[in-house]
Chain A
Amino acid sequence: MKILVPVKRVVDYNIKPRVKADGSGVETAGVKMSMNPFDEIAVEEAVRLREKGAASEVVVVSIGVQQAQDTLRTAMAMGADRAILVLTDESPEPLAVAKVLKTLVEKEGPSLVVLGKQAIDDDMNATGQMLAGLLGWGQGTFASKVDVVDGRVNVSREIDGGTEQVSLALPAIITADLRLNEPRYASLPNIMKAKKKPLETIPAADLGVDMAPRLTIVSVAEPAERKAGIKVGSAAELVEKLRNEAKVI
């Protein structure tokens, strides 16, 4: 069984994002980029399934600029077998990503696609679901536990107030939630070995997919700064301020 894991290169989670001076987006020039943390969890889960013998090959794919190669190399250092980079200078929306992934699924024929539940840059939480819809496959989203048993995959889903168990026929889509696993480090020997693993680059245009954006970003702004608090002298003053200044009582 082959597993496909899409990974996204995003602004590193340690970096405080800075809105561009013209409000058109977030500054990414010269900013440290790394693999979307939920995608790391997805890679880890796929590698563990292979290590357990439930899968035979893990293929990682990224859609983006040339530097997304680094992200793919990291995934291969974690244990993925090979990588595909779909090269584009645009930052495609989830629907376009799902369409590209559909063509790759048709080409590669995986039985399982494991994705991060969302990317930490745009927090869309849509690609996995859209891909399931386009392919007509079952989906186990927000997975916190995955078991492949007798040609089916059992998924524990994190839902409001508890977990839900679903059993999906293969092929299927899984999106990884935070508690699914703790990803391993890419060790130095494995990073060295990953340099020699195969990485195929496909120009996005060659796939013949309509990637035109459907969304328009109107403006991007930083959250309003929180005002410093004040100390009040008495309960009476507090009531007075709540009534006349804050106007909440």
Chain B
Amino acid sequence: MSEPVRESMEFDVVIVGGGPAGLAAAIRLRQLSPQTSVCLIEKGSEIGAHILSGAVIEPRALAELLPDWRERGAPLNTPVTAEDMLYLTETGSIRVPMLDKVMPHMANHGNYIVSLGEVCRWLAVQAEELGVEIYPGFAGSEVLIERNRVVGVATGDMGVGRDGKPGPNYQPGMELRGRYTLFAEGCRGSLTKQVMAHYDLRKGVDPQTYGLGIKEVWEIPAENHRPGLVQHSFGWPLDDKTYGGAWLYHFGENLVSYGFVVGLDYANTWLSPFEEMQRVKLHPAFRHHLEGGRRISYGARALSEGGLQSVPRLTFPGGALIGDSAGFLNVPKIKGTHTSMKSGMLAAEAVVEAIKTDRVEPGSFTQKVRQSWLWQELRTARNIRPAFARFGAMGGAVYAGLDAMLLRGRAPWTLHFKHQDNETLRPADLCTKPFYPKPDGKLTFDRLSSVFLSATNHEEDQPVHLRLKNPSLWKTVNWDVFHAPEARYCPAGVYEVADEQTAPHLQINAQNCVHCKTCDIKDPTQNIDWTTPEGGGGPNYPAGM
């Protein structure tokens, strides 16, 4: 396309992404320095539209950010009242005894079951009251780098046709220029990826490892609802080498959040995270919670599981990475909201200092993170996820128990991740196919009826936002060796193999994409590049998600 004529606007700080990290940073910036202009963009059609989490959250960071969050009406309405960790076998389950001793990081007292989307909508209202300018429906599609300094981002063009040419209602993107830019795109951000590559931010750290979380929200009969109940499971249906498990939370008005996470370092190319998620609902430990209810929403999102070892360099000339863009999730705790928010707040403090001294890089951010409870937490937790990768589910659980009870996270060693998730798949003929039951239409469903409930929509006439860097690799690698793993790991049915018997080729139904980013992570040769579609596209998760 010819050089678009685009408008530009100057801000002190530009924030890409309206999740907990970006919103916490925005709020903190204006609290510390009310004259600092802050602009936040979000690719979802509204704040919260792309937010997906369990979610049990620890209110620690929120209480530091807005000590009067209760009076302000933060939507943290369901305190955790009971919790179980179950080890599942195919037909039964064993409750982990003395959970608070064996897995103290799992102790959820004082925490709340929330819809993280609702929390973000509420945070956005707080931010706007403080004067933050928030623009949902605009995707950051380009990092602006001048003289090796990030000077902002540009939003994508709107109204570009499938052929890449401007259509009748074409609108060029806009340059949002900031003295500092904070990337808060969440796990595997598409601009974050570019920034990491440009400044080599991953040098000397472990590869990031990821998980894929798939979630449903159910409305169940009031007589079965036990608000505050938290149940997690590990074991069946995953084999010992595959990390993952299910969650089930009773919250809100007769709502149940149910979901399943699979570590994306899984090896069996036949594994389908979606179908694992569906079949766990049929297990006696889960079934009775959902029976008689109706499923009202569906979605999926990748999450960073690498922890401390995988955290990249956090700052670069002109900005910083915050939240899950950097990978601050605490995996054994299965929580990342409080750490994401804390990282955003610390970055805000560093940026305010950098503005005062006119420094190019808000370098004090790294120091602040290392001195905070956020780092302490991740340090204590650092060996647990790699132990699962190394010793399997049972061995990992035993290690986690010993680590908690004897070492208290102070082991003198650090276990490392050796492989990227795209390197772990085994060829199709070396793997056994799991058996997945057909959906019953009551408790279990197929992909398409699920995606329908995510209210996903993309403007139809636009270039495909999932790009194969080298299209010929698909046949020789993805099909011939791995038998199209993308058709199974994609939770939204984006990838389909057409003409399987005659001339197999990949069909990409990009309009189904729920922006989970799994394909960008797991494709064996990282041949799939997830780029931002036209702003406002993607899922429209309702309140409750």
Contacts and interface: CB of A to CB of B under 8 A. Distances in A.
Nearest to A27: B542
Nearest to A74: B137
A14 B174 contact: no
A29 B9 contact: no
Contact of A188 (B155, B219, B453, B544): B155
A182 B459 CA distance: 13
Contacts of B133: 192
Contacts of A241: none
B23 interface: no
B118 A182 contact: no
The residue in A15, A18, A185, A189 that gathers the most chain B C-beta atoms within 10 A of its C-beta is A185
Interface string B520-545: 00000000000000000000101110
A191 B542 contact: no
Given A32-B45, A184-B169, A187-B158, A15 B455 contact: yes
B544 A32 contact: no
Interface residues of A, number: 21
Interface string A153-178: 00000000000000000000000000
Contact of A32 (B46, B138, B453): B46
B526 to A, nearest CB: 31
B80 interface: no
B412 interface: no
A23 B49 CA distance: 26
Interface in B118-161: 118, 121, 133, 135, 138, 155, 158-159
A64 B115 CA distance: 27
Contacts of B36: none
Interface in B151-191: 155, 158-159, 168-169, 171, 173-174
Nearest to B222: A21
A22 to B, nearest CB: 11
A30 B9 contact: no
A183 B158 CA distance: 13
A14 B455 contact: yes
Given A21-B254, A189-B9, A14 B543 contact: no
Contacts of A29: 543
A32 B121 CA distance: 11
Nearest to B254: A21
Contacts of B223: none
Interface in B445-463: 452-453, 455-457
Interface in A27-41: 29-32, 34
Contacts of B7: 189
A231 interface: no
A189 B542 CA distance: 28
A120 to B, nearest CB: 15
Contacts of A31: 542-543
Nearest to A190: B171
B168 A182 contact: yes
Contacts of B9: 189, 192
Contacts of B455: 14-16, 32
Given A30-B542, A32-B45, A188 B174 contact: yes
B135 A32 contact: no
A182 B219 CA distance: 38
B107 interface: no
A18 B294 CA distance: 11
A32 B169 contact: no
A93 interface: no
A81 interface: no
Interface in A2-47: 12, 14-16, 18, 21, 29-32, 34
B285 interface: no
A17 B542 CA distance: 11
A14 B542 contact: no
A32 B118 CA distance: 12
Contacts of B457: 14
Q: By DSSP majority rule, is chain A's interface helix, strand, loop, or mixed?
A: loop
Contacts of A12: 45, 540
A187 B171 contact: yes
A191 B254 contact: no
A72 to B, nearest CB: 16
A205 B457 CA distance: 39
Given A182-B169, A189-B9, A189-B174, A32 B155 contact: no
A188 B296 CA distance: 32
B159 A185 contact: yes
A16 B453 contact: yes
Nearest to B219: A21
B542 A185 contact: no
Interface in B80-95: none
B171 A184 contact: yes
A185 B171 contact: yes
Interface in A177-214: 182-185, 187-189, 191-192
A12 B543 CA distance: 14
B295 to A, nearest CB: 11
Nearest to B41: A188
A30 B253 CA distance: 13
Contacts of A185: 158-159, 169, 171
Contacts of A228: 441
Contacts of A14: 45, 455-457, 540
Interface string B299-323: 0000000000000000000000000
Interface string B203-231: 00000000000000001000000000000
B540 A18 contact: no
A189 B171 CA distance: 10
A30 B217 CA distance: 14
A192 B37 CA distance: 14
Contacts of B296: 18
Contacts of B121: 30
Nearest to A16: B455
Nearest to B45: A32
A188 B118 CA distance: 24
Nearest to A184: B169
A32 B47 CA distance: 10
A27 to B, nearest CB: 8
Interface of A: 12, 14-16, 18, 21, 29-32, 34, 182-185, 187-189, 191-192, 228
21 contacts: A12-B45, A14-B455, A15-B455, A15-B540, A16-B452, A16-B455, A21-B219, A21-B254, A30-B115, A30-B542, A30-B544, A32-B542, A182-B168, A185-B158, A185-B171, A187-B174, A188-B135, A188-B138, A188-B173, A189-B174, A228-B441
Given A31-B542, A32-B455, A192-B135, 4 more contacts: A14-B456, A30-B117, A189-B7, A189-B9
